[in-house]
Structure 1
Amino acid sequence: MTLFDDLKAAIGETWEAYTRHEFVTRLGEGSLPLPVFQDYLVQDYRFLTQFARANALAAYKGRTLAEIREGAEALSVILEETELHRRLTARWGIPEPELDAAPEKMATVAYTRYVLDAGQSGDLLDLHVALAPCVIGYAEIGAALEPRRHEGHPYGEWIAEYSGEAFQAGAAAAVRRLDSLAEGALTERRFGELVRLFRAATRLETDFWQQAVDAQ
């Protein structure tokens, strides 16, 4: 069992509510209304801008070259991820400057600033636990939806991005990173602190899905 497995088990239904949210289910079915997906993708681009900052913070807080390198590699994965967003929004006639200028909605602000605060006020493990619902959760969702992807699926590119080898490898590295950071320092009290952090971050991710659904 990994630390990530233990965290998921500790929050139980909260994780299920996130990974099996209506947004995820309908995206996999291909029945999600396009305006909902468009609203989500623009906000997710703004979301990833802040997550890039969080991973830059992780590199800054690294105490060894290996930890700094890991932060830089995670940042690179996010920058590659935004290519999907730019490609799809360009088809809808939304240029990159307009994406960068899009106002962040409340759920976008809530989760991203929560993560940044966790990183600034806590240690490197706190930061990566707060990042985990996004980094590792999207890989889990992508893998679960991959069997539903087919030629002509309206959201096939999105599913392919998160079920793809590069993103899955990044998520696997994130799981290993949690174990490495927690090694030798995971007391019962510390685990409880991480569970609270992970639960809150997961709920904020769920709110991010709901924000898009509510926009229709």
Structure 2
Amino acid sequence: MAQDDAADSLFARLRAACEEDWCAFVEHDFVRRLGEGSLPEECFRHYLGQDYLFLIHFARAYALAVYKSETLEDMRQAASGMAAILDEMGLHVRYCQNWGLSKDEMQSLPEARATMAYTRFVLEKGMAGDLLDLHVALAPCIIGYGEIANRLKQDFGDKIASNPYGDWIETYAGEAYQDVARAQIEQLDRLFARRAGPGRMDSLVATFRTATRLETDFWEMGLSLAA
């Protein structure tokens, strides 16, 4: 998956330019404790509730991507992403019910500041910029979850079966989600080839770095139970 991608892909270059921030995200204590199975259940439930609200805004981001698209290929890619998120929300609701969270409860939750910060950043980048700006802002979440789950599966192996959070790890390490992450990497390259050049890298790196830091804040929110 992501860590094995060609060094000249846009994602690989963005990640290398933000290596310290990327490591803070994918190696966060929330992630480590999730893999160990030692994460307190109340932290995971808090994360799950906010992730539901998070997904609502990400579906809007993909709807915005349809509007920002200039080709049918890009429109189909964005529409497919929105459909996948809407389908994921149904799975998310069923998964959350196993943790004592109902759909009505999650819909009535106030957004945590970390949830609001990242989702509004993504939407603002999409509104003010072009389709490439929007996809770069989305990339840490889409690609990062795949990388994190792969790391956890490699690090904890057979222990995942007895881990209370094993289903979460298996979902994002599974081939279906890995395909989603790979498709996002490929889409970044297609957009960069059409819409950018070396002079644009600084602004793309800045967007990627901020989005990565906001993802780290989302883990911290889950760990600290922050509102």
Q: TM-score, length-normalised on structure 2?
A: 0.91
Match of 1:72 in 2: 79
Tell me how far apart the structure 2 counterparts of residues 13 and 177 of structure 1 sit (CA, whole Å).
24
Match of 1:12 in 2: 19
Tell me how far apart the structure 2 counterparts of residues 169 and 60 of structure 1 sit (CA, whole Å).
24
CA deviation digits over 1:164-194, x for unaligned, max 9?
1111101100000000000054333300000
Match of 2:174 in 1: 164
Runs of 4+ in 1 over 6 A off after TM superposition: none
Q: 2:108 aligns with which of 79, 96, 101?
A: 101
Q: Is the 8 A contact 2:118 2:215 kept in 1?
A: yes
Tell me how far apart the structure 2 counterparts of residues 84 and 77 of structure 1 sit (CA, whole Å).
11
Tell me how far apart the structure 2 counterparts of residues 102 and 85 of structure 1 sit (CA, whole Å).
15
Partner SS for 1:173: helix
Percent same amino acid at aligned positions?
50
Tell me how far apart the structure 2 counterparts of residues 121 and 40 of structure 1 sit (CA, whole Å).
29
Report the residue type matching 2:118 in the other structure. Y
Q: 2:165 aligns with which of 143, 149, 155?
A: 155
CA deviation digits over 1:83-134, x for unaligned, max 9?
3421232123332122112111000000000000000000000000000000
Q: How many aligned residue pairs are there?
A: 216
Q: 1:127 aligns with which of 111, 125, 134?
A: 134
Q: TM-score, length-normalised on structure 1?
A: 0.95
Tell me how far apart the structure 2 counterparts of residues 21 and 7 of structure 1 sit (CA, whole Å).
19
Q: Is structure 2 residue 66 aligned with structure 1 residue 59?
A: yes
The more displaced of 144-153 and 48-57 is 144-153
RMSD: 1.4
Partner SS for 1:7: helix
Tell me how far apart the structure 2 counterparts of residues 66 and 205 of structure 1 sit (CA, whole Å).
28
Match of 1:195 in 2: 205
Q: Is the 8 A contact 1:84 1:158 kept in 2?
A: no
CA deviation digits over 1:53-95, x for unaligned, max 9?
0011111211111111000111122223323421232123332
CA deviation digits over 1:142-177, x for unaligned, max 9?
111123253221101100111111111011000000
Match of 2:189 in 1: 179
Match of 1:114 in 2: 121
Match of 2:5 in 1: none
Q: 1:34 aligns with which of 30, 33, 41?
A: 41
